[in-house]
A = this chain, B = another copy of it.
Amino acid sequence: MIPRVPSAPRTRLTPVQRRAQLLELGIEMLSENRLEDVAIDHISHLAGISRGLLFHYFPSKRDFHLAVVEAAAQHLLDRTEPDPHLPVMKQLRSSVEAFVDYLAEHRTTYISLVRGASGSDPDLQAIFERTRRAIGDRILDRLGVTDPLPGVLAVIRGWVAFADEVSLDWLAQDAPELTRDGLIELLEESLVALIQVAAAHSR
């Protein structure tokens, strides 16, 4: 069903702008709906275009959904990209802060990406894996590690899963005992401790 909201006035957008607009609307819907409930009719109505035009940009509903999840993942990576001019520990802090805040704002989107989306669909699974890898690779890059010990690589990747679990669990609590800052510090200190364990272990 299409909610009775006024549709956007028909504006001339370039194809690039139109595509970006449709993806933004998709991401926005994903923050309150599961992926399978992101309806083409609703999106094209909000954009003030016909279903047909949407399918011109995304040949099928599935193509649109994959593109929305891909864009959401990129959005997360952009949001958590730390300023490379900061000292490394400050970069870690600002990135973890951005991650926790992103999750708090986009919990449903993130769950779609991490859990919902990572189900038995191999394409969604691939987006999920690429995103986790990209976060791990960025940590290594900022640490200046080009040839990580196998244990260090393993714990950094594992920490991304750890941070997901701890943060989603925290968000699911009605009255979490940990404060936002406490959570951020815990995630940060955990990464440092895990890298120390792995480095000592590999020696």
Contact = CB atoms under 8 A, between A and B. Distances in A.
Interface of A: 34-36, 115-121, 125, 150-151, 154-155, 157-166, 169-170, 176-178, 182-183, 185-186, 189-190, 193-194, 196-198, 201
* A-B residue pairs, 10 tightest by C-beta: A119-B119, A161-B165, A150-B177, A158-B166, A158-B162, A162-B162, A193-B193, A116-B120, A161-B161, A158-B165
Best-buried of A157, A160, A186 by chain B (most CB within 10 Å)? A186
Contacts of A163: 158
A21 B157 CA distance: 38
Contacts of A159: 162
Contacts of A117: 119
B201 A186 contact: yes
Interface of A (DSSP majority class): helix
Given A116-B119, A119-B116, A162-B161, A178 B193 contact: no
A189 B197 contact: yes
A157 B151 contact: no
Contact of A34 (B120, B166, B169, B189): B120
Contacts of A176: 150
A93 to B, nearest CB: 15
Nearest to A156: B166
Contacts of A162: 155, 158-159, 161-162, 165, 194
